[in-house]
Amino acid sequence: MRTGFDGGVGFSFTGAGILGGAVEFHYVARGLKYDFVETTGSGLLIKTTMKLDYVDIPMLLQITPRAAGPVRPVFVVGPVVGFKTSANFAVDGGGSADLGSAAKSTTFGGVVGVGMRIRTVEGSG
């Protein structure tokens, strides 16, 4: 497991009725850390790290059903396209290497989510 970072900006818009949408741009640090232990004698421990950095772009459809009161549920669904910005493999004490074309340059995924919109001022939300 490797702890990474995901941060970005997004833009949302509301259409007529209950439909809306959002487009987001995220920098995402992915990867893994793994320890290999030689078990047939020396017990040598080799620590490795793979770092994969992508820019992910979710394109979301937002559905906000009408509800009485200030709180309304929001449902989101849509595809995510990711573009590789870097990919490296490192061994502790042994240097590192650029993975280049060994890592996918473009990834595809999806998002499904639920949230809520809270109206704080009359006429908003």
Average pLDDT score over residue span 70-92: 93
pTM: 0.75
Residue 91: name the closest of 56, 123, 23, 44 by CA.
44
Rg over alpha carbons for the chain, rounded to the nearest Å, is: 21
Nearest Cα to 48, choosing from 102, 104, 95, 103? Answer: 95
Bigger pLDDT: 50 or 2? Answer: 50
Average pLDDT for 16-35: 91
| Mean of the per-residue pLDDT values of the chain | 88
1: confidence class by pLDDT, cuts 50, 70, 90:
low
89 or 38, greater pLDDT: 89
